[in-house]
């Protein structure tokens, strides 16, 4: 699954000498490089180069048209004292802290429920997975309509049971963030559910049989068999979900544009605003780099913490 | 717990794959590099014509009118061929800089004159002062405010596409239903405030009115709210664009008046975008809306029985918010492109061009001398009436930080005030300092 799962390189002596003798080392290396080349070219051209470029740009004052002016760490100094940055930072943390666990828990819940055989199971599975296939932009537009205070179906239904918001759900500072969070969960839960489903189906049935013979109840079986054996999936799902939520953008851009008064502005929204609206690409790059470091650190911590619980078969 | 080797490990041996993947990738990469022709700076074409790409955001019923003028221009001579690319304004603002930087941009760009300084400051536009110096272009006939709107730092970067005051549309049926005279729309703030209790109707008493006195947007909208401080002699910035005025008592007084009207008297729903406001008036849920002539067709199609009047005047000033859309030439244009663009500008603002544009779009003509020839539609005459044009004022003219001041300071602060997150005075006094900081940058 990850690089660290690959066996460490064997010491030279253990490499079969006869095989090596077949051809010169350079040729064998060439073969290896040729296999690696496609991935490496993509990686360098579309990941490493842009990343290096972004780091360089973060040290400049750059607007796309005039040449970039090198200004050292000025962007980072400004960033530390920029209330807009800290607002976006804490919004991002809040978004990730709520959406990640809710998504993962719901995905697990759905997966366990939909792993049982019942009539219409395929339909329910599809219904939950469907939002993941649809573009987030389209989803966000659809939800904006549903939540519209004047023509929205959902607003109407809520109004029927006595829940009215005088202004729209998306422009009320109390509800805007929960609304974009809900759409984020709704969109991604199906994808993680499918990963969990795959995990569930790979748990051998004899474990459950053994547990039953031992006289366990369903909750104990879930707690002691299902959950531990799903920890690989949980690691994958929670790392993916965390990275995705820290980069929340589409639904926020379409539904609220970061408003009302920046209550839903996340770091990626801020990067977009500083870059493409304020035309400050250097500053936007600096924020991107800070976000990159933040995501990297959190992912590593999460990985290190959860890997100890990983199961190997 | 016992772990099992239930995955059957499979050793794949002896595979020799031709590196098809790498080959395909190389093709794909070279394909990327090969793009980027078309449009851009070269401008020339096979038949010797200069072809110009013209980006603009006239997506509404005004789009066909714009296309008509361009078609007429293309047919009128053999040297220049203008092609319009129409897209929503916000898309245009987002795309334009990357397109120009990538040498794949348009030759002519239309945008609100209020946004132009920001892009001019980034070096995106060529100065067009020599266009105005050439008396053959007949610029003297144009409304001076329309010309001045695109001046930034002493250089004019644009030629007006249109100039339009925002007028108050009011729903006569709703006025009548409220027991008001449908031929007597409010003329002052106080008259309007007095009508609010009659025009805002909460039938079922759930605290959310079914009908509002007006539809006043607080984000992504025509900046009517931003212009309201003019009414008491205040403003967002001073006329020279150097000093913030948001914290001045006059501005606070005006904002206080309107925030109270919207928030406490429920004169308008909170959180409306421009599109929401239009929708509200179109569906008969708002009795008034202050907006430009581009909505006329939509209101007609909705079958509204409406009147158009000047927006209510403030106690100290009756200034009317006006907007100018200007067209500029992207920087780095060669001389042939520039001259071709000038030819088009001249045609656009000629009598002929303006009559076609005005008749088709409902915008008032840029030149007063053809106003009486626009007879196919009544609206250009209403919006272009002399007393209306004389009262017209342009918001944040020539202020490079104009876009930023609106998007990141004024609207968010207003939303805070409307949501009761502080008093108008403390919120806008703090905002005023931020505005000053932007102006000083």
Chain B residues within an 8 Å CB radius of A311: 3
Helix axes A176-201, A136-147, angle to 10 degrees: 130
Distance from CA of B314 to the nearest CA of A (A): 27
Mean pLDDT split into 10-residue runs, chain B, 441 residues:
34 34 39 38 59 89 88 93 90 85 87 88 90 89 86 92 92 92 93 93 81 90 91 91 92 94 91 86 93 86 91 93 92 89 94 90 85 80 84 86 88 92 93 92 83
β-pair partners for B55? B85, B109
Cα nearest neighbour of B94 on chain A: A276
β-pair partners for B170? B288, B307
Binary contact (B207, A166; C-beta < 8 A): yes
Binary contact (A38, B122; C-beta < 8 A): no
Going from the C-alpha of B301 to that of each of A63, B277, B375, B382, the distances in angstroms are 43, 17, 20, 19
Cis ω on the peptide bond leading into residue A114 (within 30° of 0)? no
Is A66 an interface residue toward B (CB < 8 Å)?
yes
What local confidence, expressed as pLDDT, does residue B47 receive? 61
The DSSP string of chain A is: --GGGSPPPPPGGGS-HHHHHTS-HHHHHHHHHHHHHHHHHHHIIIIIHHHHHHHHHTTEE--SSSPPEE-TTHHHHHHHT-HHHHHHHHHHHHHHHHHHHHHHHHHHHHHHHHTS--TTHHHHHHHHHHHHHS-HHHHHHHHHHHH-TTT-HHHHHHHHTT---SS-TTTSTTTHHHHHHHHHHHHHHHHHHHHHHHHHHTS-HHHHHHHHHTT--HHHHIIIIIHHHTHHHHHHHHHHHHHHHHT--HHHHHHTTT-STTTT--HHHHHHIIIIIS--HHHHHHHHHHHHHHHHHHHHHHHHHHHTT----
Is A221 an interface residue toward B (CB < 8 Å)?
no
- Window B:29-48, CB contacts with A under 8 Å: 29
* pLDDT tens digits for range B377-389: 788 888 888 888 8
Binary contact (B122, A66; C-beta < 8 A): yes
Distance from CA of A150 to the nearest CA of B (A): 8
Distance from CA of B379 to the nearest CA of A (A): 29
What local confidence, expressed as pLDDT, does residue B12 receive? 33
pLDDT tens per residue across all 313 residues of chain A: 444 444 445 445 544 445 555 556 788 889 999 999 999 999 999 999 998 998 999 999 888 777 888 998 999 999 999 999 999 999 999 999 999 999 999 999 999 999 888 888 889 888 999 889 888 888 888 888 888 877 788 888 888 887 777 777 888 888 899 989 999 999 999 999 999 999 999 888 888 899 889 888 888 888 888 888 888 889 899 999 999 999 999 889 888 888 789 999 999 999 999 988 888 899 999 999 999 999 999 988 988 887 776 666 5
Distance from CA of A112 to the nearest CA of B (A): 21
pLDDT > 90 in chain A, percent? 40
Is B441 an interface residue toward A (CB < 8 Å)?
no
* pLDDT tens digits for range B78-130: 999 999 999 888 788 888 888 888 878 899 999 988 889 888 888 889 999 99
Chain A residues within an 8 Å CB radius of B403: 277
Query: Of B329, B323, B326, nearest to B130 (Cα)?
Result: B329
- Window B:125-144, CB contacts with A under 8 Å: none
Chain B residues within an 8 Å CB radius of A273: 407-408
* Residue B202: partners with Cβ closer than 8 Å, 6 or more residues away: B208, B209, B210, B266
Cα nearest neighbour of B281 on chain A: A150
Chain B residues within an 8 Å CB radius of A34: 19, 22
* Residue B174: partners with Cβ closer than 8 Å, 6 or more residues away: B199, B211, B284, B287
Distance from CA of B352 to the nearest CA of A (A): 37
Report yes or no: B181 and B356 within 8 Å, Cβ to Cβ.
Answer: no
The DSSP string of B165-201 is: E-EEEEEHHHHHHTT--TT----BHHHHHHHHHHHSB
Binary contact (B415, A171; C-beta < 8 A): yes
With 0-12 / 13-18 / 19 or more C-beta atoms within 10 angstroms meaning exposed / middle / buried, residue B315 is: middle
Q: Which one of B122, B208, B272 has the shortest CB-CB distance to A279?
A: B122
User: For B125, which DSSP code?
Assistant: B
Binary contact (B122, A65; C-beta < 8 A): yes
What local confidence, expressed as pLDDT, does residue B41 receive? 41
- Window B:140-179, CB contacts with A under 8 Å: none
β-pair partners for A61? A69
Cα nearest neighbour of B413 on chain A: A261
User: For B42, which DSSP code?
Assistant: T
Is B421 an interface residue toward A (CB < 8 Å)?
yes
Torsion of CA A292, A298, A299, A301, to 10 degrees: 140
Instruction: Put residue B313 in one of left, alpha, beta given phi > 0 → left and psi -120 to 50 → alpha.
Output: beta
Cα nearest neighbour of B411 on chain A: A261
Is B100 an interface residue toward A (CB < 8 Å)?
yes
Q: Looking at this predicted complex, what is its ipTM?
A: 0.76
- Token pair of B310, please? 């000047």
Q: Which one of B97, B123, B412 has the shortest CB-CB distance to A261?
A: B412
Report yes or no: B343 and B79 within 8 Å, Cβ to Cβ.
Answer: yes
What local confidence, expressed as pLDDT, does residue B293 receive? 87
Distance from CA of B90 to the nearest CA of A (A): 10
* Cα first-last separation, chain A: 14
Distance from CA of B15 to the nearest CA of A (A): 11
Q: pTM, whole model, 2 decimals?
A: 0.80
What local confidence, expressed as pLDDT, does residue B290 receive? 94
Q: Which one of B25, B206, B285 has the shortest CB-CB distance to A38?
A: B25
- Token pair of A142, please? 């659809």
Chain A residues within an 8 Å CB radius of B5: 313
Chain B residues within an 8 Å CB radius of A226: none
What local confidence, expressed as pLDDT, does residue A4 receive? 45
- Token pair of A198, please? 């795959």
Total length of chain A: 313
What local confidence, expressed as pLDDT, does residue B314 receive? 92
Binary contact (B22, A37; C-beta < 8 A): yes
What local confidence, expressed as pLDDT, does residue B400 receive? 85
Helix axes A281-307, A83-114, angle to 10 degrees: 40
Distance from CA of A167 to the nearest CA of B (A): 5
Is A172 an interface residue toward B (CB < 8 Å)?
yes
* Cα first-last separation, chain B: 67
């Amino acid at each position: 699954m990850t690089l660290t799962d690959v066996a460490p390189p064997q010491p030279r002596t253990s490499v079969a000498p006869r095989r090596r003798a077949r051809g010169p080392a350079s040729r064998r290396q060439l073969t290896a490089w040729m296999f690696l080349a496609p991935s490496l070219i993509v990686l360098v051209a579309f990941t490493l180069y842009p990343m290096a470029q972004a780091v360089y740009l973060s040290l400049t004052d750059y607007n796309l048209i005039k040449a970039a002016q090198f200004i050292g760490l000025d962007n980072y100094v400004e960033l530390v004292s920029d209330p807009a940055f800290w607002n976006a930072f804490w919004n991002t943390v809040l978004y990730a802290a709520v959406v990640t666990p809710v998504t993962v828990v719901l995905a697990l819940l759905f997966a366990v429920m939909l792993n049982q055989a019942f009539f219409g199971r395929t339909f329910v599975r599809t219904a939950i997975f469907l939002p993941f296939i649809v573009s987030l932009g389209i989803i966000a537009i659809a939800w904006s309509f549903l939540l519209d205070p004047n023509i929205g179906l959902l607003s109407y239904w809520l109004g029927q049971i006595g829940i009215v918001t005088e202004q729209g759900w998306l422009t009320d500072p109390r509800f805007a963030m929960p609304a974009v969070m809900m759409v984020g969960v709704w969109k991604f839960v199906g994808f993680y559910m499918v990963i969990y489903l795959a995990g569930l189906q790979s748990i051998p049935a004899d474990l459950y049989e053994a547990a039953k013979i031992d006289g366990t109840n369903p909750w104990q079986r879930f707690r002691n068999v299902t959950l531990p054996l799903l920890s690989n999936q949980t690691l994958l799902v929670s790392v993916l979900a965390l990275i995705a939520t820290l980069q929340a953008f589409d639904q926020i851009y379409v539904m609220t544009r970061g408003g009302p008064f920046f209550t839903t502005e996340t770091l990626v929204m801020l990067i977009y605003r500083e870059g493409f609206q304020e035309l400050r690409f250097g500053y936007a790059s600096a924020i991107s780099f800070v976000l990159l470091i933040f995501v990297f650190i959190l992912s590593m911590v999460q990985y290190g913490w959860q890997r100890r619980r990983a199961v190997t078969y | 717990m016992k772990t099992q080797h239930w995955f059957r490990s499979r050793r794949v041996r002896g595979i020799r794959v031709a590196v098809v993947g790498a080959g395909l990738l190389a093709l794909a990469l070279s394909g990327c590099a090969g793009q980027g022709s078309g449009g851009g700076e070269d401008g020339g074409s096979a038949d010797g014509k200069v072809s110009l790409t013209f980006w603009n955001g006239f997506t509404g019923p005004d789009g066909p009118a714009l296309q008509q003028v361009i078609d007429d221009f293309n047919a009128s001579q053999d040297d220049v061929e203008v092609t319009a690319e129409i897209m929503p304004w916000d898309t245009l603002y987002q795309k334009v800089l990357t397109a120009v930087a990538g040498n794949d941009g348009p030759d002519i760009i239309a945008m609100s004159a209020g946004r132009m300084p920001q892009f001019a400051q980034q070096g995106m536009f060529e100065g067009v002062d020599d266009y105005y110096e050439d008396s053959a272009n007949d610029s003297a006939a144009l409304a001076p405010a329309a010309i001045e709107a695109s001046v930034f730092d002493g250089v004019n970067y644009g030629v007006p596409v249109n100039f339009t005051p925002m007028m108050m549309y009011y729903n006569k049926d709703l006025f009548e239903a409220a027991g008001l005279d449908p031929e007597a729309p409010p003329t002052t703030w106080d008259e309007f405030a007095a009508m609010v209790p009659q025009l805002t109707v909460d039938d079922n008493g759930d605290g959310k009115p079914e009908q509002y006195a007006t539809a006043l947007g607080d984000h992504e909208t025509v900046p009517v709210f931003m212009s309201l401080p003019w009414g008491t002699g205040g403003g967002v910035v001073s006329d020279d664009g150097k000093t913030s005025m948001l914290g001045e008592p006059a501005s606070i007084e005006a904002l206080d008046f309107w925030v109270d009207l919207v928030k406490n008297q429920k004169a308008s729903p909170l959180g409306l975008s421009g599109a929401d406001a239009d929708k509200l008036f179109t569906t008969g849920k708002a009795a008034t809306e202050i907006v430009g002539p581009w909505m006329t067709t939509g209101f007609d199609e909705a079958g509204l029985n409406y009147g158009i009047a000047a927006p209510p005047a403030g106690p100290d000033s009756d200034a009317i918010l006006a907007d100018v859309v200007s067209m500029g030439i992207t920087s780095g244009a060669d001389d042939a492109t520039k001259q071709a663009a000038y030819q088009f500008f001249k045609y656009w603002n000629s009598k002929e061009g303006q009559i076609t544009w005005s008749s088709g779009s409902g915008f008032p003509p840029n030149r007063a001398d053809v106003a009486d020839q626009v007879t196919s539609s009544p609206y250009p005459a209403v919006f272009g009436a002399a007393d209306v044009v004389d009262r017209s004022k342009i918001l944040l003219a020539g202020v490079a930080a104009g876009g930023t001041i609106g998007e990141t300071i004024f609207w968010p602060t207003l939303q805070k005030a409307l949501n009761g997150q502080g008093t108008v005075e403390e919120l806008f006094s703090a905002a005023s300092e931020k505005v000053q900081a932007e102006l000083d940058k």
